[in-house]
């Protein structure tokens, strides 16, 4: 990202699963742009307007939001004897008019970017529904690149690939730095705990770290959530070390307080009129199947965790029906299926569902901590 910002004609796209830290990365980039190599100073006069897309946005509304964050005449407060005088300020949005074209934007930013470092973050790009709007943003990137406009555009969005995010990306391939944002590694998740623990002057036992890291599945949202509840439990009992028991309390809290939408989808996915129905256990096995860096697993990856949960061998025929049903509306479309027959790959439609299913499995005693660690432990710290 820093390279893209420092090189004229280069732009960037950050893409990955929901909740892996894309927005956070784009927010901290200013701290990585060092002025003159001095580590303690961020870039002088950097201008970093940021816009979060909404489904209703058009190219014009998007750029109005970006440009309204750019003041063209600096505000100056001149303090006289009797009054304070402010110079008139116009935002860039007022200058370009209601329906700016990519070319208008280019000319304006050529002027603005001349003496300042400018990078524009367009977050939640996947929310745009109009293909014309996405295309116009791609055109703008192309125009900026062709004319070496001194402004970097950084597109951020939920997606497995750049293709899916920016359909027109081929024409801008060479000027677009592609930054896939993976899930956090176990070490990185563990760092969240160490860093937070230092600030609080509290330590996490190795078991507690392993448990939280394992349950978070590389999604920092859950690392924060479980750490919060576990630390509270530790403080409530006046302890000095967060233990496995504190994490168990945290898991209960996290499941109880989960978003209503997560709970509703889970309920829909596993509830069956028949008593012997296997849906809850198959879904848990799916959550325990080892995913690739984008959260996908194959049908075959479910076999081992399911056999462990059920205490006897299962083969594909035993759960094929369930996997298929999880993709349907009757089961809340909890899983998403891609690929071709015999090579289907699956993932949880909402990545936050996967840790939720595992934690619900612990609370419902479908699985115990020991078995859980045996299955996912080797992916642990």
Least Å from the CB of residue 182 to ligand ATP:
11
Calpha distance 175→145 (Å, rounded): 7
Burial class (CB in 10 A: 0-12, 13-18, 19+), 173: exposed
Nearer to ligand ATP, 26 or 145 (CB): 26
249 binds, among Mg ion, ligand ATP, none (CB under 5 to 8 A by kind): none
173 beta partners: none
Judged by CB under 5 A, which stretch of 16-24, 171-179, 275-283, 355-363 contacts Mg ion? 16-24
Least Å from the CB of residue 230 to ligand ATP:
16
9 binds, among ligand ATP, Mg ion, none (CB under 5 to 8 A by kind): none
The position carrying tokens 């096995």 is: 285
Within 18-77, the residues that bind Mg ion by CB under 5 A are 23
H-assigned helices in 33-75: 59-67
Burial class (CB in 10 A: 0-12, 13-18, 19+), 171: middle
Nearer to ligand ATP, 157 or 214 (CB): 157
- How many residues touch Mg ion (CB under 5 A)? 1
20 binds, among ligand ATP, Mg ion, none (CB under 5 to 8 A by kind): ligand ATP
Q: Are 3 and 177 in contact (CB under 8 A)?
A: yes
Residue whose CB is nearest to Mg ion in the complex, by number:
23
The position carrying tokens 């256990």 is: 281
Calpha distance 145→156 (Å, rounded): 18
Residue 262 is encoded by which pair of tokens? 């997560």
257 binds, among Mg ion, ligand ATP, none (CB under 5 to 8 A by kind): none
Least Å from the CB of residue 123 to Mg ion:
6
Least Å from the CB of residue 219 to ligand ATP:
7
Residue 362 is encoded by which pair of tokens? 């612990």
Site string for Mg ion, 267-306 (x = CB under 5 A): ----------------------------------------
Q: How many Cβ atoms are within 10 Å of 106's Cβ, its own excluded? A: 17
Q: How many Cβ atoms are within 10 Å of 129's Cβ, its own excluded? A: 12
Nearer to ligand ATP, 190 or 284 (CB): 190
Calpha distance 285→305 (Å, rounded): 5
Least Å from the CB of residue 15 to ligand ATP:
10
Give yes or no for residue 248 binding Mg ion (CB under 5 A): no
Residue 239 is encoded by which pair of tokens? 């302890």
Nearer to ligand ATP, 25 or 72 (CB): 25
Calpha distance 130→149 (Å, rounded): 26
| Residues making contact with ligand ATP (CB under 6 A) | 18-24, 158, 192, 220-221, 224
Q: Which residues bind Mg ion (CB under 5 A)?
A: 23
């Amino acid at each position: 990202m820093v390279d893209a910002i420092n090189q004229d004609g280069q732009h960037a796209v950050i893409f990955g699963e929901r909740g892996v830290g894309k927005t956070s990365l784009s927010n901290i980039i200013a701290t990585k742009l060092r002025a003159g190599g001095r580590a303690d100073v961020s870039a002088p006069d950097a201008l970093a307007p940021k816009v979060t897309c909404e489904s209703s946005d058009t190219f014009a509304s998007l750029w109005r939001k970006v440009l309204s964050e750019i003041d063209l005449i600096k505000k100056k407060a001149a303090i006289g004897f009797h009054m304070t005088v402010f110079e008139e300020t116009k935002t860039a949005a007022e200058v370009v008019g209601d329906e700016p074209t990519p070319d208008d934007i280019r000319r304006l930013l050529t002027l603005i970017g001349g003496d300042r470092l400018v990078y524009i973050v367009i977050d939640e790009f996947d929310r745009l529904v109009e293909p014309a709007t996405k295309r116009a943003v791609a055109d703008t990137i192309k125009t900026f690149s062709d004319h070496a406009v001194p402004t970097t555009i950084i597109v951020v969005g939920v997606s497995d690939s750049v293709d899916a995010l920016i359909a027109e990306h081929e024409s801008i391939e060479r000027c677009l730095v592609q930054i896939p944002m993976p899930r956090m590694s176990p070490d990185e998740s563990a760092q969240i705990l160490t860093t937070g623990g230092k600030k609080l002057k509290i330590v996490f036992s190795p078991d507690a770290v392993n448990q939280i890291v394992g349950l978070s599945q590389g999604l920092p949202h859950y690392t924060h959530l479980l750490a919060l509840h576990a630390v509270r439990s530790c403080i409530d009992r006046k302890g000095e070390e967060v233990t496995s028991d504190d994490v168990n309390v945290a898991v209960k809290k996290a499941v109880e307080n989960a978003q209503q939408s997560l709970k509703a989808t889970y309920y829909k996915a596993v509830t069956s009129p028949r008593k012997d129905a296997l849906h809850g256990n198959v879904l848990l096995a799916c959550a325990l199947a080892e995913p690739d860096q984008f959260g996908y697993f194959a049908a075959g990856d479910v076999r081992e965790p399911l056999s462990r949960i059920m205490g006897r061998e299962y083969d594909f025929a035993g759960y094929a029906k369930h996997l298929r049903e999880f993709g349907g509306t009757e089961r809340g479309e909890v899983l998403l299926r891609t690929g071709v027959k015999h090579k289907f790959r699956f993932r949880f439609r909402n990545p936050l569902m996967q840790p939720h299913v595992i934690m619900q499995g612990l609370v419902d005693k479908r699985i115990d901590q020991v078995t859980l660690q045996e299955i996912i432990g080797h992916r642990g710290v």
